């Protein structure tokens, strides 16, 4: 008799599991139960649908129940809410939109419930005009509110991926935006200095960005009636009047169903699974935003609510159910955000996490162009590479710029997945043509700088150590550059004059060398070290120093 697999929830994890399962087993009975109106939609595109950049709701729908039936012979039932799991009898309790109920038996059960938006318990949080953005109906409600109430100003709470994208798309509609972020930086998964260009771009666009700020309460403006402006009180006591408020402060796992039937969950509420995505019940699997998995770099338990991992987990479960031997290798947090003319991308661990896990590491910064400078339109990419000081293994990377950012992070993401080192990045063979890159791609350059440091050819001093141990900060830029972008230094000698002026320097104390991005400083260090000086690099030069907030000073 053919076995029945019931999948609870669609979108990335559940839908990919269903399609893969059919490809693996033509005779399996596959039922997908989705409580919402859409089984598979592009939730990453929702902010762009709000602004009209994505014009039609249908463009967000990746697959319909009719498509699943015709193409895969999969029974997709929308508007079906699973309210209970009877593990002993291997069945689920279903409540339909009309209130009717049904019991459905399974041989294998796959949970793909996703996550729910965090809604803080603030006074006034349930007032009209307050929204979160997680589903297509959410975005339609926001669009309708903007149109009906002629919205001129909005408050967006949360400066992560969704918060930035929502702010940008409201700005595209010529709506004034105040962006509230409780932390001292936006995009908290990225190290602070790498976020600074995005922070500058947000403010340059006219967004009222409030850092280190929280919302304390929300009231309806007393003089305007029930549907008048909202009065938002901030943690510093200031008040804002706004036409609408959108919450983008994060998500929590939707694991209530799993908890109600006694499946093991983590302290943070994520469903616990093994490498086969199997829960504490061997006949029940779980995938997507609601599960706790392992970090591919540290091996420790973590959670990552992104579509890519959910999709791969769904495919893997289909393989496991049909007898294939596979395991999920873990997540490494590869992500990208495009907003306000910049692309910000990262993979692997950030510096705060590495410090928290006490993993020995080193950091280098580079600021190459996305392609050769002689080809028109070259743009700077600001990159940070983190690697293990014991063996050079790549641990993480972050980059921000106007063009070519995500390509470089994708390359490094694969390097991390394969356990590659900075020496591998140094030797990586990548595409080159003038309009696409350079003979030394930014990925190569990052590997070369790190490999030089690993070999002892390029000592690195971090910016928080500028001027330490009575070190002399030597700036080897031109006089014009020094005047245009001044920074604290003890001595200025342009690189082309350095050989003739070595007598002005002392060999008795360390010299920290800086230039615009690090290349001239590296050349100076090679020269100085061969002449007996104690020279090290302030990594990334003035281009990195300008992004540090606050920028350190020497002395």
Q: Residues 245, 256: one domain?
A: no
Give the mean pLDDT of 396-401.
98
Residue 340: which pLDDT band, with cuts at 50, 70 and 90? very high
pLDDT category, 224, cuts 50, 70, 90? low
| Per-residue pLDDT at 555 exceeds 50 | no
Contact between 63 and 39 under an 8 Å Cβ cutoff? The reply is yes
Are 245 and 141 part of one and the same domain? yes
- Residue 224: CATH number of its domain: 3.50.50.60
Q: 164 or 553, which is more confident?
A: 164
Q: How far apart are CA 336 and CA 339, in angstroms?
A: 10
Closest of 301, 316, 334 to residue 112, by C-alpha: 316
As to burial, measured by CB atoms within 10 angstroms (0-12 exposed, 13-18 middle, 19+ buried), residue 278 is middle
Contact call for residues 251 and 116 (beta carbons, < 8 A): yes
How confident is the model over 30-63, as pLDDT tens digits?
999 999 898 888 888 999 999 999 999 999 988 8
* Residue pLDDT, tens place only, 421-476: 999 999 999 999 999 999 999 999 999 999 999 999 999 999 888 888 789 999 99
Q: Provide the b/e sequence for 67-82 (b: ≥16 CB within 10 Å).
A: ebeeebebbbbbebbb
Strand ranges across the sheet with 29-34: 75-78, 29-34, 4-8, 108-111, 284-286
What integer is the mean pLDDT of 318-341? Answer: 95
Q: What's the rounded mean pLDDT across residues 332-340?
A: 96
Indicate the residue among 454, 477, 504 that finishes a domain: 454
Has residue 420 been placed in a domain?
Answer: yes
SS (H, E, C) 200-221: HHHHHCCCEEECCCCEEEEEEC
Confidence of residue 12 (pLDDT cuts 50, 70, 90): confident
339 — pLDDT class (breaks 50, 70, 90): very high
Question: What number of other Cβ atoms are within 10 A of residue 396's Cβ?
Answer: 25
Share above pLDDT 90 across residues of the chain, in percent, rounded to a whole number: 89
Per-residue confidence (pLDDT) for residue 277, from 0 to 100:
97
CA-CA distance, 152 to 243, in Å (whole number)? 7
* Residue 336 covered by a domain: no
Query: Residue 101 burial (CB < 10 Å; 0-12/13-18/19+)?
Result: exposed
Mean local confidence (pLDDT), 531-538: 96
Do both 28 and 85 map to the same domain?
yes
Give 551's DSSP letter: P
Please name the helix (run of DSSP H) or strand (run of DSSP E) that holds residue 199, with its range, or none: helix 192-204
Question: Is residue 495 a part of any domain in this protein?
Answer: yes
Q: What is the pLDDT of residue 223?
A: 65
pLDDT given at position 310: 94
| 462-485 pLDDT tens trace | 988 888 878 999 999 999 999 999
Distance, in Å, from the CA atom of 417 to the CA atom of 348, rounded to the nearest integer, reads 9
Domain end residue (candidates: 215, 249, 283): 249
- 271: confidence class by pLDDT, cuts 50, 70, 90: very high
Boundary of a domain, candidates 438, 454, 470: 454
**Average pLDDT of span 140-168:** 96
User: Given pLDDT bands bounded at 50, 70 and 90, which one contains residue 81?
Assistant: very high
Does residue 121 form part of some domain?
no
- What mean pLDDT do residues 291-302 have? 94
The reported pLDDT for the residue numbered 40 is 85
The residue-averaged pLDDT of 304-312 equals: 92
For residue 326, tell me if it sits in a domain: no
Which residues are within 8 A (CB) of 377 and not within 5 positions of it... i.e. 6 or more apart?
371, 403
d(CA 326, CA 41): 27
Question: 68 with 90, same domain?
Answer: yes
Which tokens sit at 160? 């992560």
Bridge pairing between strands 381-388 and 361-366 = antiparallel
71-75, 159-163, 217-221: least confidently modelled range: 217-221
Same domain assignment for residues 439 and 501 = no
Pair (137, 244) in one structural domain: yes
Domain of residue 505, CATH code: 3.40.250.10
CB atoms within 10 A of CB 149: 15
Whether residues 140 and 244 share a domain: the answer is yes
**Mean pLDDT computed over 249-254:** 94
C-alpha 347, offset from chain centre: 8
> In the predicted model, what is the mean pLDDT of the chain?
94
Quote the CA–CA distance of 398 and 388 in Å, as a whole number: 16
Q: Which two tokens stand for residue 370?
A: 């996305």
12: domain range?
A: 4-116+252-321
Q: Which helix (H) or strand (E) holds 350?
A: none
3-state secondary structure 392-440: CEEEEEEEEECCCHHHHHHHHHHHHHCCCEHHHHHHCCCCCCCCCCCCC
Q: Is residue 481 part of a domain?
A: yes
In this structure, is residue 122 part of a structural domain? no
Q: Do 302 and 401 have their domain in common?
A: no
Question: Is residue 387 assigned to a domain?
Answer: yes
Number of domains in the chain: 4
Same structural domain for residues 167 and 229? yes
Residues 163 and 311 in one domain: no
Q: How confident is the model at residue 225 (pLDDT cuts 50, 70, 90)?
A: low
37 and 101 both lie in a single domain? yes
Is residue 533 located within the same domain as residue 466?
yes
Give the pLDDT band of residue 488 (cuts 50, 70, 90). confident
Does 550 have pLDDT greater than 60? Answer: no
> What is the C-alpha to C-alpha distance for residues 476 and 489, in angstroms, rounded to an integer?
10
Contacting residues for 264 by C-beta, under 8 A, at least 6 apart: 271, 272, 279, 280
pTM of the model: 0.93
What is the DSSP track for 251-311? EEE--HHHHHTT--B-TTSPEE--TT-B-SSTTEEE-GGGEEEEBTTT--EE----HHHHH
Q: 296 is written with which tokens?
A: 């591919």
2 falls in which pLDDT band (50, 70, 90)? confident
Q: Which helix (H) or strand (E) holds 526?
A: helix 519-530
Structural contact between residues 192 and 549, judged by C-beta atoms closer than 8 angstroms: yes
All residues at 6 or more sequence positions from 207 whose CB lies less than 8 Å from its CB, including other chains: 167, 171, 177, 178, 179, 340
pLDDT, position 442: 97
DSSP state of 369: B
Cα distance between residue 505 and residue 135, in whole Å: 64
């Amino acid at each position: 008799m053919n076995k029945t697999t019931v999948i609870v929830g669609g979108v990335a994890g559940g839908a990919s599991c269903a399609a893969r399962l059919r490809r693996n087993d033509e005779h399996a009975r596959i039922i997908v139960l989705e409580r919402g109106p859409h089984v598979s939609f592009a939730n990453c595109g929702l902010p762009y649908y709000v602004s009209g950049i994505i014009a039609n709701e249908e463009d967000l729908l990746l697959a319909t129940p009719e498509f699943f039936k015709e193409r895969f012979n999969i029974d997709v039932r929308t508007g079906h809410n699973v309210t209970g799991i009877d593990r002993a009898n291997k069945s689920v309790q279903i409540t339909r939109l009309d209130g009717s109920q049904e019991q459905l038996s399974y041989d294998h059960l796959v949970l793909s419930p996703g996550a729910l938006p965090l809604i803080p318990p603030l006074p006034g949080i349930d007032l009209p005009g307050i929204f979160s953005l997680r589903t297509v109906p959410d975005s339609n409600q926001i669009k309708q509110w903007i149109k009906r109430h002629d919205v001129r100003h909005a408050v967006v709470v949360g400066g992560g991926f969704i918060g930035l994208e929502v702010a940008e798309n409201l700005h595209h509609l010529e709506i004034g935006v105040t962006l509230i972020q409780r932390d001292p930086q936006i995009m908290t998964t990225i190290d602070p200095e790498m976020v600074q260009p995005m922070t500058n771009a947000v403010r340059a666009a006219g967004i009222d960005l409030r850092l280190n700020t929280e919302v304390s309460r929300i009231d309806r403006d007393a003089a305007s009636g029930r549907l008048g402006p909202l009065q938002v009180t901030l943690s510093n006591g200031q008040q804002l009047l706004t036409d609408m408020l959108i919450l983008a402060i994060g998500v929590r796992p939707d694991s209530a169903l799993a908890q109600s039937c006694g499946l093991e969950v983590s302290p943070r509420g994520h469903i616990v699974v093994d490498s086969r995505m199997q829960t504490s019940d061997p006949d029940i699997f779980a995938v997507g935003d609601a599960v706790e998995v392992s970090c591919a770099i540290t091996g420790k338990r973590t959670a990552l609510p992104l579509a890519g991992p959910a999709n791969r987990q769904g495919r893997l479960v289909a393989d496991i159910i049909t007898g294939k031997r596979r395991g999920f290798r873990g997540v490494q947090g590869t992500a990208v955000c495009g907003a306000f003319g910049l692309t910000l991308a990262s993979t692997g661990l950030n510096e705060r996490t590495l410090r928290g896990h006490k993993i020995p590491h080193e950091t280098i910064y580079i600021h190459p162009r996305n392609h050769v400078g002689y080809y028109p339109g070259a743009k700077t990419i600001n990159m940070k590479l983190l690697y293990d000081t014991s063996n050079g293994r790549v641990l993480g990377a972050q980059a921000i710029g106007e063009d070519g950012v995500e390509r470089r992070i994708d390359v490094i993401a694969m390097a991390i997945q394969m356990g590659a080192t900075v020496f591998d990045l140094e030797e990586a063979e990548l595409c080159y043509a003038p309009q696409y890159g350079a003979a030394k791609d930014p990925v190569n350059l990052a590997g070369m700088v790190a490999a030089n440091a690993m070999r002892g050819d390029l000592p690195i001093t971090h910016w928080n150590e500028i001027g330490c141990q009575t070190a002399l900060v030597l700036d080897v830029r031109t006089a014009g550059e020094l005047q245009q972008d001044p920074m604290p230094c003890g001595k200025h000698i342009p690189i082309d004059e350095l050989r003739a002026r070595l007598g002005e320097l002392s060999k008795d104390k360390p010299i920290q060398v800086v230039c615009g991005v690090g290349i001239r400083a590296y050349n100076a260090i090679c020269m100085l070290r061969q002449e007996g000086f104690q020279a090290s690099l302030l990594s990334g030069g003035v281009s990195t120093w300008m992004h540090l907030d606050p920028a350190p000073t020497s002395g």
